[in-house]
Amino acid sequence: MENERTSSLTNQPELQMQLMQFAMDNASIEIYWLGSDARIYYANNHACKKLGYTKEEFLQLSLPDLDPNYPIEQWGKHWLSLKNDKTQSFETLHKRKDGVVFPVEVVANYVCLDGHEYNVAFAKDITERKRVEDALHEKEEFFRMISENVEDYIAVLDLEGRRIYNNPTYANLFGGIEVLKGTDSFAEIHPDDRERIKQIFKKTVQSGIGHRAEFRFILEDGSIRYMESNGGLIKDSQGKALRVLVVSHDITERKQAENEIIDLAFHDSLTKLGNRRLLSDRLEQTMALSKRSGLYSALMFLDLDNFKPLNDAHGHAAGDLLLVEVAHRISSCVREVDTIARFGGDEFVVMLSELDVEETKSATQAAAVAEKIRTALAKPYLIKIHPDGKAEITIEHHCTSSIGVVMFANHEGSAKDIIHWADMAMYQAKEAGRNLIWFYAKD
């Protein structure tokens, strides 16, 4: 069966052309076919976008239009040299339709197809690399590797998703072409993404329409790569589904940047807890869920009772260390499904969601958690600091907390009201003597 699949792929010119055309048109690198007369016979979608020409306009151009510095009188000599070497790499310039010139790295290949000779050239914009080369000299090997390799991951799969062919970039990701051949292409997909990608694959096979999708690969060392893929169905001359071609791009860096932005937007940089924005979002969700389920939830507003003297005596660095320890202690007292946020300064908010349908039982549960937090925060803090560059010293600081609690379920009040009521209860705890828990009375 494997030999039949391989033979089918290699012995059908029409299928080969479909595969080649799809791969070239979707590649994120400029691809050109030049004839022995130096005219351009083909330019892919990326080349059209990069240089501003339509495919039809490209067919009216020749090499000097593409490369303004190319000595056309040397074409014959260079053509013979390429035929002899089969492949050549070099750096040159490309000129856009609007006249803008930018540096590229080119890999030229001699190809003879159906008796016609071509220079199949892969060109990559290296403007950014050129700009940072001097400042990032230590990254030279990294940029060299990028510039010498096509970044796309190309896979040809059978209709069950087994691998028939993988290009070197893809194969190197998983240990080589022979290792991958005939294996399940879904095996390395993250379990949380696998079923969704399988369904997208089936839709592509059934409908003949390609679908773009994002998913995660799990590599052998356990690391995760985020991929963006576009699949297309390859049919034989009778229109029967034969293969699926998938072109993927590694978007890990983009995803990491997006996650960092999200993290900064919703989390406190010092304690790593949620911030006001995350609290507001979670509170709105919990209120909506409460309306459907009838379960009570609790919101606690915490304020440290003896925080300012530490800052005044030992500086903000000591205060920051105490706040980090407070965050750890609160986290140890609640469930993973609960939400903790640093509201500002030495104020923290804890939301306990989905407690019980009865308010009394829910309040009892909330009181138990609040007492656990109050007890944990009342224990002495041992803070190590370096005063004015001197040797490290350990400060023992005592800092209790005042906690206000409000219960809510399908409440008429808004999220802002609930936070305000918990805040009011916290101030009542302070006025009553501090280091106390106070429940907000709605009536």
In this structure, are strands 347-352 and 339-344 parallel, antiparallel, or unpaired? Answer: antiparallel
Instruction: Please give the Cα distance from 118 to 82 (Å, whole number).
Output: 10
**What residues does CATH 3.30.450.20 cover in the chain?**
29-147, 153-257
Instruction: Please give the Cα distance from 108 to 347 (Å, whole number).
Output: 64
CATH topology classification for 267-439: Alpha-Beta Plaits (3.30.70)
**What residues does CATH 3.30.70.270 cover in the chain?**
267-439
The DSSP code sequence of 266-320 is HB-TTT-SB-HHHHHHHHHHHHHHHHHH---EEEEEEEESS-HHHHHHH-HHHHH
CA end-to-end distance (rounded Å), the chain: 78
In this predicted structure, what is the pLDDT of residue 63? 92
Residues in the chain: 443
Residue found under tokens 């459907």? 292
CATH level 2 (architecture), domain 153-257 = 2-Layer Sandwich (3.30)
**Cβ contacts of 104 within 8 Å, gap of 6 or more:** 30, 91, 92, 93, 94, 123, 124, 125, 126
For CA atoms 302, 308, 313, 314, the dihedral sign is positive
361's enclosing H/E stretch is helix 359-378
In this predicted structure, what is the pLDDT of residue 443? 64
CATH homologous superfamily for the domain 29-147: PAS domain (3.30.450.20)
In this predicted structure, what is the pLDDT of residue 353? 92
**Spatial CA neighbour of 66 closest among 53, 76, 81:** 53
Per-residue pLDDT of the chain (443 residues; tens, 9 = 90+): 344 433 444 456 677 677 778 888 888 899 999 999 999 999 999 999 999 999 899 999 999 999 988 888 888 898 999 989 999 999 999 999 999 999 999 999 999 887 889 999 999 999 887 876 655 555 434 323 333 345 678 888 899 989 888 777 777 777 665 667 788 889 888 999 999 999 999 998 888 888 889 999 888 888 888 999 888 888 877 788 888 888 888 888 888 777 777 767 778 889 989 888 888 989 999 998 888 888 999 999 999 998 988 888 888 889 999 999 999 999 999 998 899 999 989 999 999 998 999 999 999 999 999 999 999 999 999 988 877 767 788 889 999 999 999 999 876 688 999 999 999 999 999 999 999 999 998 76
| 277-281, Cβ contacts within 8 angstroms, sequence gap of 24 or more | 278/339, 278/341, 279/339, 279/341, 279/343, 279/349, 279/351, 279/419, 280/415
Instruction: Please give the Cα distance from 443 to 63 (Å, whole number).
Output: 84
Instruction: Please give the Cα distance from 203 to 197 (Å, whole number).
Output: 10
For CA atoms 190, 195, 198, 204, the dihedral sign is negative
For residue 150, the SS3 value is: coil
The pTM of the full predicted model, rounded to 2 decimals, is: 0.47
In this predicted structure, what is the pLDDT of residue 134? 56
Burial per residue of 350-376, b for 16 or more beta-carbon CB atoms within 10 angstroms, e otherwise: bbbbbbbeeeeebbeebeebbeebbeb
In this predicted structure, what is the pLDDT of residue 322? 93
What CA dihedral angle connects 139, 145, 148 and 152, to 10 degrees?
Answer: -120
